[in-house]
Amino acid sequence: MASHCSLRSGGLAQDFFTPNSIQALADFLSTNTQAVVFVGLGSNLLIRDQGFNGVVVKLTQLNALSINHSTISVSAGTTLAKLSRFIHSQHQYGGEFLSAIPGTVGGALAMNAGAFGSEFWQYVVQVQTMNSSGEVFWRSVDEFNISYRQVTPKHADEFFVAAKLAFNTEKSDQDVKQLLLKRNASQPIGLPSCGSVFKNPPGQYAAELIELANLKGHCVGGACVSNKHANFIINQNKATASDIENLITHIQQTVKSKFNINLETELIII
Protein backbone atom coordinates (compact mmCIF):
# COMPACT_ATOMS: atom_id res chain seq x y z
CA MET A 1 0.00 0.00 0.00
CA ALA A 2 3.05 2.30 0.10
CA SER A 3 2.22 3.55 -3.40
CA HIS A 4 -1.36 4.41 -2.36
CA CYS A 5 -0.52 6.27 0.88
CA SER A 6 1.14 9.68 1.04
CA LEU A 7 3.54 8.50 3.77
CA ARG A 8 4.92 6.15 1.06
CA SER A 9 5.06 3.32 3.55
CA GLY A 10 2.96 0.30 4.48
CA GLY A 11 2.38 -3.41 3.85
CA LEU A 12 0.50 -5.36 1.20
CA ALA A 13 -3.25 -5.57 0.73
CA GLN A 14 -4.62 -9.04 0.02
CA ASP A 15 -6.84 -7.62 -2.74
CA PHE A 16 -7.37 -4.27 -4.44
CA PHE A 17 -10.43 -3.00 -6.33
CA THR A 18 -10.98 0.28 -8.21
CA PRO A 19 -14.63 0.51 -9.32
CA ASN A 20 -15.50 2.69 -12.33
CA SER A 21 -19.16 3.09 -11.36
CA ILE A 22 -21.36 2.90 -8.26
CA GLN A 23 -23.10 -0.10 -9.86
CA ALA A 24 -19.75 -1.92 -10.31
CA LEU A 25 -18.99 -1.26 -6.64
CA ALA A 26 -22.43 -2.52 -5.56
CA ASP A 27 -22.02 -5.68 -7.69
CA PHE A 28 -18.58 -6.31 -6.21
CA LEU A 29 -19.70 -5.83 -2.60
CA SER A 30 -22.82 -7.98 -3.01
CA THR A 31 -20.64 -11.07 -3.50
CA ASN A 32 -17.56 -10.03 -1.49
CA THR A 33 -16.84 -11.91 1.75
CA GLN A 34 -13.53 -10.24 2.70
CA ALA A 35 -12.97 -7.37 5.13
CA VAL A 36 -13.10 -4.01 3.28
CA VAL A 37 -11.20 -0.74 3.65
CA PHE A 38 -12.09 2.29 1.52
CA VAL A 39 -9.30 4.66 0.49
CA GLY A 40 -9.11 7.94 -1.35
CA LEU A 41 -5.66 9.47 -1.81
CA GLY A 42 -4.32 7.69 1.31
CA SER A 43 -3.22 11.03 2.69
CA ASN A 44 -4.27 10.18 6.23
CA LEU A 45 -3.72 6.45 6.21
CA LEU A 46 -1.04 3.94 7.20
CA ILE A 47 -1.34 0.19 6.61
CA ARG A 48 0.94 -1.72 9.01
CA ASP A 49 3.92 -3.65 7.54
CA GLN A 50 2.11 -6.97 8.12
CA GLY A 51 -0.44 -5.82 5.50
CA PHE A 52 -4.22 -5.86 5.35
CA ASN A 53 -5.96 -9.22 5.10
CA GLY A 54 -8.89 -8.02 3.01
CA VAL A 55 -9.78 -5.86 0.02
CA VAL A 56 -8.81 -2.22 -0.37
CA VAL A 57 -11.40 -0.30 -2.42
CA LYS A 58 -9.98 2.83 -4.02
CA LEU A 59 -12.67 5.23 -5.22
CA THR A 60 -10.69 7.70 -7.32
CA GLN A 61 -12.44 6.63 -10.56
CA LEU A 62 -15.77 7.77 -9.08
CA ASN A 63 -15.20 11.46 -9.69
CA ALA A 64 -18.39 12.97 -11.17
CA LEU A 65 -19.31 16.59 -10.39
CA SER A 66 -22.46 18.50 -11.28
CA ILE A 67 -24.63 21.37 -10.06
CA ASN A 68 -28.40 21.77 -9.94
CA HIS A 69 -30.02 24.94 -8.51
CA SER A 70 -26.83 25.71 -6.56
CA THR A 71 -26.60 22.25 -4.94
CA ILE A 72 -23.38 20.48 -5.93
CA SER A 73 -23.46 16.69 -6.42
CA VAL A 74 -20.06 15.05 -6.13
CA SER A 75 -18.85 11.44 -6.17
CA ALA A 76 -16.69 10.29 -3.26
CA GLY A 77 -13.51 9.74 -5.29
CA THR A 78 -13.35 13.36 -6.52
CA THR A 79 -10.28 15.19 -5.26
CA LEU A 80 -10.79 18.21 -3.02
CA ALA A 81 -8.61 20.27 -5.39
CA LYS A 82 -10.97 19.53 -8.32
CA LEU A 83 -14.02 20.22 -6.13
CA SER A 84 -12.53 23.51 -4.96
CA ARG A 85 -11.94 24.63 -8.57
CA PHE A 86 -15.50 23.60 -9.53
CA ILE A 87 -17.01 25.57 -6.62
CA HIS A 88 -15.03 28.63 -7.71
CA SER A 89 -16.11 28.23 -11.36
CA GLN A 90 -19.77 28.17 -10.22
CA HIS A 91 -19.32 31.47 -8.34
CA GLN A 92 -19.86 29.78 -4.97
CA TYR A 93 -17.72 30.59 -1.95
CA GLY A 94 -16.51 29.02 1.28
CA GLY A 95 -14.79 26.02 -0.36
CA GLU A 96 -11.43 27.80 -0.77
CA PHE A 97 -9.92 25.86 2.18
CA LEU A 98 -10.37 22.56 0.28
CA SER A 99 -7.57 23.45 -2.14
CA ALA A 100 -5.11 23.10 0.76
CA ILE A 101 -6.15 19.56 1.73
CA PRO A 102 -4.82 16.63 -0.33
CA GLY A 103 -7.64 14.09 -0.33
CA THR A 104 -10.93 12.99 -1.79
CA VAL A 105 -14.52 13.80 -0.85
CA GLY A 106 -14.86 10.31 0.76
CA GLY A 107 -11.80 10.89 2.95
CA ALA A 108 -12.95 14.42 3.84
CA LEU A 109 -16.38 13.07 4.85
CA ALA A 110 -14.82 10.27 6.94
CA MET A 111 -12.38 12.64 8.66
CA ASN A 112 -14.40 15.90 8.72
CA ALA A 113 -11.34 17.44 7.09
CA GLY A 114 -10.78 21.10 7.80
CA ALA A 115 -8.39 24.02 7.46
CA PHE A 116 -8.28 27.77 8.10
CA GLY A 117 -11.32 27.62 10.41
CA SER A 118 -13.64 25.69 8.03
CA GLU A 119 -14.71 22.04 8.15
CA PHE A 120 -16.12 19.83 5.37
CA TRP A 121 -19.40 18.88 7.07
CA GLN A 122 -20.39 22.57 7.39
CA TYR A 123 -21.30 22.35 3.69
CA VAL A 124 -22.93 18.89 3.52
CA VAL A 125 -26.64 18.69 2.65
CA GLN A 126 -26.90 14.89 2.27
CA VAL A 127 -24.57 11.96 1.72
CA GLN A 128 -25.01 8.79 -0.28
CA THR A 129 -23.70 5.69 1.45
CA MET A 130 -23.32 2.02 0.56
CA ASN A 131 -23.23 -0.83 3.02
CA SER A 132 -20.99 -3.88 2.75
CA SER A 133 -23.73 -5.78 0.89
CA GLY A 134 -23.82 -3.11 -1.84
CA GLU A 135 -27.12 -1.44 -0.79
CA VAL A 136 -27.31 2.34 -1.31
CA PHE A 137 -28.88 4.93 1.03
CA TRP A 138 -29.26 8.71 1.19
CA ARG A 139 -28.46 9.94 4.70
CA SER A 140 -29.04 13.34 6.25
CA VAL A 141 -26.46 15.19 8.34
CA ASP A 142 -28.24 14.39 11.61
CA GLU A 143 -27.62 10.67 11.01
CA PHE A 144 -23.94 11.29 11.91
CA ASN A 145 -22.16 12.47 15.08
CA ILE A 146 -19.73 15.06 13.75
CA SER A 147 -16.85 16.59 15.67
CA TYR A 148 -13.25 17.72 15.21
CA ARG A 149 -11.65 15.26 12.71
CA GLN A 150 -14.16 12.62 13.73
CA VAL A 151 -17.41 11.38 12.16
CA THR A 152 -19.39 8.54 13.71
CA PRO A 153 -22.29 7.22 11.61
CA LYS A 154 -25.45 6.23 13.43
CA HIS A 155 -25.73 3.38 10.88
CA ALA A 156 -22.58 1.27 11.21
CA ASP A 157 -20.93 -0.50 8.28
CA GLU A 158 -21.66 2.14 5.60
CA PHE A 159 -19.16 3.88 3.30
CA PHE A 160 -19.49 7.19 1.48
CA VAL A 161 -20.09 7.07 -2.27
CA ALA A 162 -21.37 10.61 -2.99
CA ALA A 163 -22.52 13.85 -1.39
CA LYS A 164 -24.72 16.86 -2.05
CA LEU A 165 -23.08 20.09 -0.94
CA ALA A 166 -24.17 23.71 -0.68
CA PHE A 167 -21.62 26.51 -0.49
CA ASN A 168 -22.16 30.24 0.00
CA THR A 169 -23.41 32.51 -2.73
CA GLU A 170 -21.96 35.59 -1.01
CA LYS A 171 -18.40 36.34 -2.05
CA SER A 172 -15.77 35.41 0.53
CA ASP A 173 -12.49 37.24 1.01
CA GLN A 174 -10.41 34.02 1.21
CA ASP A 175 -7.80 34.00 -1.55
CA VAL A 176 -6.69 30.48 -2.57
CA LYS A 177 -3.20 31.60 -3.60
CA GLN A 178 -2.67 33.34 -0.24
CA LEU A 179 -3.93 30.26 1.64
CA LEU A 180 -1.53 27.99 -0.23
CA LEU A 181 1.40 30.38 0.27
CA LYS A 182 0.64 30.52 4.01
CA ARG A 183 0.52 26.73 4.15
CA ASN A 184 3.72 26.20 2.15
CA ALA A 185 5.57 28.57 4.45
CA SER A 186 4.73 26.58 7.58
CA GLN A 187 4.50 22.95 6.39
CA PRO A 188 6.96 20.54 4.72
CA ILE A 189 4.89 20.26 1.54
CA GLY A 190 6.36 17.93 -1.10
CA LEU A 191 7.89 15.46 1.35
CA PRO A 192 6.11 12.19 2.13
CA SER A 193 3.85 12.80 5.14
CA CYS A 194 0.21 12.50 6.24
CA GLY A 195 -0.19 16.11 7.31
CA SER A 196 -0.85 16.55 11.02
CA VAL A 197 -0.29 13.23 12.79
CA PHE A 198 -2.01 14.22 16.05
CA LYS A 199 -5.28 16.02 16.81
CA ASN A 200 -4.88 19.25 18.72
CA PRO A 201 -5.83 18.60 22.36
CA PRO A 202 -8.54 21.01 23.67
CA GLY A 203 -7.01 24.50 24.03
CA GLN A 204 -3.54 23.34 22.92
CA TYR A 205 -1.57 22.84 19.72
CA ALA A 206 -0.01 19.39 19.24
CA ALA A 207 2.85 20.94 17.23
CA GLU A 208 3.70 23.32 20.06
CA LEU A 209 3.75 20.51 22.66
CA ILE A 210 5.98 18.33 20.45
CA GLU A 211 8.35 21.24 19.82
CA LEU A 212 8.49 22.11 23.56
CA ALA A 213 9.34 18.44 24.21
CA ASN A 214 12.45 18.97 22.00
CA LEU A 215 11.32 16.36 19.50
CA LYS A 216 11.77 18.36 16.28
CA GLY A 217 14.14 16.36 14.07
CA HIS A 218 13.89 13.25 16.27
CA CYS A 219 13.99 10.06 14.14
CA VAL A 220 13.14 6.39 14.53
CA GLY A 221 14.60 4.42 11.61
CA GLY A 222 13.70 6.36 8.46
CA ALA A 223 10.83 8.33 10.09
CA CYS A 224 11.53 11.80 11.50
CA VAL A 225 9.63 14.64 13.16
CA SER A 226 9.72 17.50 10.65
CA ASN A 227 11.98 20.42 11.50
CA LYS A 228 9.52 22.74 9.78
CA HIS A 229 6.29 21.63 11.51
CA ALA A 230 6.51 19.44 14.63
CA ASN A 231 3.09 17.80 14.08
CA PHE A 232 4.32 16.32 10.77
CA ILE A 233 6.23 13.03 10.52
CA ILE A 234 8.31 12.72 7.36
CA ASN A 235 9.28 9.50 5.67
CA GLN A 236 12.87 10.66 5.32
CA ASN A 237 14.62 7.45 4.37
CA LYS A 238 12.60 4.34 3.47
CA ALA A 239 10.70 4.34 6.76
CA THR A 240 8.70 1.24 7.53
CA ALA A 241 5.21 1.55 8.98
CA SER A 242 6.73 0.25 12.25
CA ASP A 243 9.30 3.10 12.25
CA ILE A 244 6.41 5.58 11.90
CA GLU A 245 4.29 3.92 14.57
CA ASN A 246 7.24 3.64 16.99
CA LEU A 247 7.98 7.34 16.49
CA ILE A 248 4.29 8.12 17.17
CA THR A 249 4.44 6.12 20.42
CA HIS A 250 7.68 7.85 21.46
CA ILE A 251 6.10 11.29 20.87
CA GLN A 252 2.97 10.31 22.83
CA GLN A 253 5.01 8.98 25.77
CA THR A 254 7.33 12.01 25.87
CA VAL A 255 4.47 14.55 25.72
CA LYS A 256 2.56 12.59 28.38
CA SER A 257 5.55 12.47 30.76
CA LYS A 258 6.44 16.18 30.27
CA PHE A 259 2.98 17.76 30.18
CA ASN A 260 0.55 15.02 31.31
CA ILE A 261 -1.35 15.43 28.01
CA ASN A 262 -2.52 12.52 25.86
CA LEU A 263 -1.96 13.07 22.13
CA GLU A 264 -4.54 11.24 20.03
CA THR A 265 -3.65 10.39 16.41
CA GLU A 266 -5.53 11.96 13.53
CA LEU A 267 -3.72 9.46 11.25
CA ILE A 268 -5.73 6.25 10.69
CA ILE A 269 -3.58 3.15 11.28
CA ILE A 270 -4.79 -0.23 9.98
Ligand X SMILES: Cc1cc2nc3c(=O)[nH]c(=O)nc-3n(C[C@H](O)[C@H](O)[C@H](O)COP(=O)(O)OP(=O)(O)OC[C@H]3O[C@@H](n4cnc5c(N)ncnc54)[C@H](O)[C@@H]3O)c2cc1C
List contacts with ligand X (CB under 6 A).
Answer: 6, 37-45, 59, 76, 100-104, 106-108, 110-111, 113-115, 159-160, 189, 193-195, 268
Rounded least distance, CB 238 to ligand X, Å: 18
Give the residue with the Cβ less far from ligand X, 67 or 115: 115
Give the residue with the Cβ less far from ligand X, 13 or 113: 113
Based on its alpha-carbon atoms, the radius of gyration of the chain, rounded to whole angstroms, reads 19
Give the residue with the Cβ less far from ligand X, 191 or 258: 191
E strands of 132-167, at which residues?
136-140, 144-147, 150-153, 158-165
196 is catalytic: yes
Is residue 267 within a helix (H) or strand (E), and if so which, with residue range?
A: none
* The one catalytic residue among 8, 48, 85, 149: 149
158 is catalytic: no
Rounded least distance, CB 84 to ligand X, Å: 13
* The one catalytic residue among 96, 119, 245, 266: 266
Rounded least distance, CB 166 to ligand X, Å: 19
* The one catalytic residue among 75, 84, 196, 226: 196
85 is catalytic: no
Give the residue with the Cβ less far from ligand X, 17 or 259: 17
Rounded least distance, CB 207 to ligand X, Å: 12
> Which residues are known to be catalytic?
149, 196, 266
